[in-house]
Amino acid sequence: MTVFTEEHPALESYWRAVILFGRNVATYKFALAKSLLELSPQANTFIPLDDLAIPFASHIAEHLKLNDKQITSSSSKFIEACRQWNDGQIEKDEMVQTAVRYGFNNVLDAFHIVNQDEIAVRFFESEKRGKSKGIVVTDNLFQLQQTTQAQNFSHEVESRWRLVETAWSMNIAPSLMEVQYDESRGEFFIHSNDKLRRTNITSARGALNGYQKGKCFYCFDDIHIHSEHEMLADVDHFFPHTLQGSVQTNLDGVWNLVLACKRCNRGESGKFARIPELKLLERLHKRNSFFINSHHPLRETLINQTGKTEQDRIAFLKSMDQIAINLLIHRWQPTLEFTPVF
């Protein structure tokens, strides 16, 4: 396991490790994850692949409309069937049959693999009953759906999916990938090779939340990323954006963006344009390391923005902190802090 998981990981941590750190050679993992989250079975429920194939293939088909590149291999009978379904060339039943025959060949076995090892908990088990192949949902998935973070998971999967497929579809070398932030829209975007076209990738909240485990960066209170939730997180600049005219570094970079509860960001004793305490700077380095330990494009974006080695990245943050405190003077820390989770 990676540094992302604590000594005694919660179910949320295992789930997020799969989504954020699992290997990506196709986007099937994301389609399966979204399908699992949509299920509402009791534990030990058997779900035939014929039933699972409907949401699974539907998610792939929808994403093919956004980005045709959903695998790193040159061809796939399952992907081609989803394309044909989108184009009205085949009926739903034929698409489902193709998904059952080809779509699940690897993803069921690979889903729980993170960094070449299987995680300690499983959210489903593969099983065959009679002539029907399928999965048996474990109590872990049922419990995951009951957590306070349940509403966030689908958004996080979607954001991760959009990041991966965008990198593949644009055929940009990871070292040249530069994800940027549009504060007015709350979205990450990237420019094409000719620098003239812009591709909006995903919600910044969805992309950042999993790496903070659904907690406020500063106080570790629960946050949410659903746009209508009363605890909707703010996207905050760790080093205040008011410094932008005084520093050459892009403060809208992923490295400087965190999710914060409204109390910490703009409450009565909120941060506003003050500089976080040094322990919070260390936390920022740790959070950024979570990105570095995951796969592109955010990994490469962080390296491009902060340095190739850990020593470089630490020196970068120390330098930024020295400049910031000399200009803005005041330090800040939250008045209330819950149990740390990273």
Report pLDDT for 257: 94
Report pLDDT for 171: 67
Tell me the two tokens of residue 161: 């999916």
The model's pTM is 0.81
- Confidence category of residue 175, pLDDT binned at 50, 70, 90: low
- Confidence category of residue 329, pLDDT binned at 50, 70, 90: very high
Please state the domain extents for the chain. 11-144, 162-332
Span 119-156, pLDDT tens digits: 989 999 999 998 899 999 999 999 999 998 899 999 99
Exposed, middle or buried: residue 274 (CB in 10 Å: 0-12, 13-18, 19+)?
middle
- The torsion angles phi and psi of 229, rounded to 5 degrees, stand at -75, 140
Taking the C-alpha atoms of residue 33 and residue 14, their distance in angstroms, rounded to an integer, is 13
Q: What integer best gives the mean pLDDT of the chain?
A: 88
Report pLDDT for 293: 84
Exposed, middle or buried: residue 82 (CB in 10 Å: 0-12, 13-18, 19+)?
buried
According to DSSP, residue 42 is labeled P
Taking the C-alpha atoms of residue 283 and residue 227, their distance in angstroms, rounded to an integer, is 26
Residue 179: which residues within 8 A CB-CB, separation 6 or more?
Answer: 163, 188, 189, 190, 201, 254, 297, 298, 301
Taking the C-alpha atoms of residue 14 and residue 6, their distance in angstroms, rounded to an integer, is 10
Q: Which residues pair with 200 in a beta bridge?
A: 189
Span 70-111, pLDDT tens digits: 998 888 999 999 999 999 999 999 999 999 999 999 999 999
Phi-psi sector, 6: left (phi>0), alpha (psi -120 to 50), beta: beta
Span 244-288, pLDDT tens digits: 888 888 899 899 999 999 999 999 999 999 999 999 999 999 999
Check residues 313 and 117 and name the one with the higher pLDDT: 313
Span 56-72, pLDDT tens digits: 999 999 999 999 999 98
Span 284-315, pLDDT tens digits: 999 999 888 876 567 888 898 999 999 999 99
Taking the C-alpha atoms of residue 333 and residue 336, their distance in angstroms, rounded to an integer, is 9
Taking the C-alpha atoms of residue 144 and residue 137, their distance in angstroms, rounded to an integer, is 12
What letter represents residue 106's amino acid? N
332: enclosing H helix or E strand: strand 331-332
Q: For residue 333, how many C-alpha atoms fall within 13 Å in the half-sphere facing its CB?
A: 9
Report pLDDT for 6: 43
Taking the C-alpha atoms of residue 235 and residue 180, their distance in angstroms, rounded to an integer, is 14
Q: What is the torsion angle, in degrees rounded to the nearest 10, for the CA atoms of residue 154, residue 159, residue 164 and residue 169?
A: 110
Report pLDDT for 183: 82
Span 23-42, pLDDT tens digits: 777 899 999 999 999 987 66
- Confidence category of residue 195, pLDDT binned at 50, 70, 90: low
Tell me the two tokens of residue 297: 């494009």
